[in-house]
Chain A
Amino acid sequence: MKTPSEDHDLIRWLDGEMTDVERASFTARMDTDPMLKSEVEMMQRMSADLRTHLPAEMPVPYADFFNSQIQIRIAQEEPYPRSETSRASWQQWFRLPTLLTATAAVVIGGIMIMQKEAPTGNSLVHSIYVPNPAVHARAFHSQEAQATVLMLEGVEAMPADRKIVGYHIKRSETDQEVATTTLYGERGEVVAIVAKDARNQPRLLSANPRG
């Protein structure tokens, strides 16, 4: 039975991460250990098959939101007050290339704000993510209005000649097999259908040609 360190060596050899000395030693071991050699060959075949059948790059669904959630978790993990020890562990986290990439994507792609506290009984905004860097967002609680406000500044104005038609939706039915939601009006009539396109973005199909 192989030890974990042997598994580790095998992976490092396959990934080309060994030094010249380590590589020579590992190759010598392969020459004397037929089981190790057959395992290496099998791993090489699997690796080649995967490279052949899988695309080199795949789009991450909801990548921007995924990145923002990583940021939130990082912020939640950070202890206060920050000690030298905790700073060291922070740096170790940031050595992870994936995390660094995700963090950079967040910095470039959007703005995220966290609202920490709110009085009990009031609605609360935990986090905000705005994909458009030109838009600024902030959340606050209005004691006078007894409401939580999510203020977006810098949103492009709606064209004045655009006719906005309102709906009065009373209920909806969702069909997960075809990923659509049908919206019904006051008299039980179909008002609109929400579907999604290939990019997972909503498509609204209005039953009213004017709408």
Chain B
Amino acid sequence: MKPALILACLTSVLALASAQQPAAPTAQPLPAVKPATDGKVWGALVYATNDAKGFDGANEQAPADFADIPKRLGKVFPYQRFEIIGQHLQDVFREYESWVVPTKDLFLKVDSKGPAEGGGMNLHLQFWRDQQVLVKTDAVLKEGSPLFISGPKWREGQLLFVLVLQKSR
């Protein structure tokens, strides 16, 4: 057999074999679809007390943007100390509910109702204590104007929930 013919036969056999062999599976990453958001909120659960010992749990610090929150709380609630027990920075989803959960005990459900006239966001809020909703409210949250919710009394003081709309960046 002529070499050219042998080469042609080999090439055909190899081509046929490679065509019949199933292609190695390649991992196709799923498209990462990030839900649309209307903004971002920061929520915190604060223990307000006059007890000098304060709270013996985690000592959280507010982000720099909201560092004045304890001082502002002091202008409304009659306590000397305001300690952040937990905090949560959360995207507000446009089409889905969002949860702001600084602690397991007290948390907030947030539903966006779209941008507010003159800035800020229209929100429907539900303040939950375990399986019980304490209050439902429709509110407009504006940048630089926090919402304080007074929660239950606890030990020598009271639990307060803070919700702030983060400034657009």
Contacts and interface: CB of A to CB of B under 8 A. Distances in A.
Interface of A: 64-65, 68, 72, 120-132, 135, 137, 139, 142, 144-153, 155-158, 160, 162-172, 174, 176, 181, 183, 192, 194, 201-202, 204, 206, 211
Interface in B109-145: 109, 118-120, 128-129, 131-142, 144-145
Given A68-B136, A142-B76, A148-B145, A164 B85 contact: yes
14 contacts: A121-B144, A130-B136, A135-B135, A139-B137, A149-B150, A150-B137, A152-B151, A157-B154, A166-B45, A167-B102, A183-B101, A192-B101, A202-B99, A204-B101
B111 to A, nearest CB: 11
Contacts of B153: 155, 157-158
Contacts of B65: none
Nearest to B93: A174
B48 interface: no
Given A126-B139, A176-B96, A144 B148 contact: no
B57 A148 contact: no
Interface in B13-50: 35, 45, 47
Size category of the binding interface on chain B: 35 or more
A150 B150 contact: yes
A165 B57 contact: yes
A69 to B, nearest CB: 9
A148 B136 contact: no
Interface in B83-99: 84-91, 93, 96, 98-99
Interface of B: 35, 45, 47, 57-58, 60, 72-73, 75-76, 84-91, 93, 96, 98-99, 101-105, 107, 109, 118-120, 128-129, 131-142, 144-155, 159, 165
A124 B99 contact: no
B147 A158 contact: no
A144 B141 CA distance: 18
Contacts, number: 188
A127 B124 CA distance: 10
Contact of A160 (B87, B104, B109, B155): B155
B98 A172 contact: yes
Q: Report which residue of B98, B99, B107 has the largest number of chain A beta carbons within 10 angstroms of its beta carbon.
A: B99
Given A169-B88, A170-B89, A201-B131, A146 B72 contact: yes
Nearest to B46: A166
A209 to B, nearest CB: 12
Given A130-B135, A176-B96, A123 B147 contact: yes
Contacts of B104: 164-165, 167, 192, 204, 206, 211
A122 B30 CA distance: 42
Nearest to B113: A126
B168 to A, nearest CB: 15
Given A149-B150, A158-B105, A166 B87 contact: yes
Contacts of A124: 139-140, 142
Most buried by B among A64, A164, A165: A164
B91 A150 contact: no
A132 B134 contact: yes
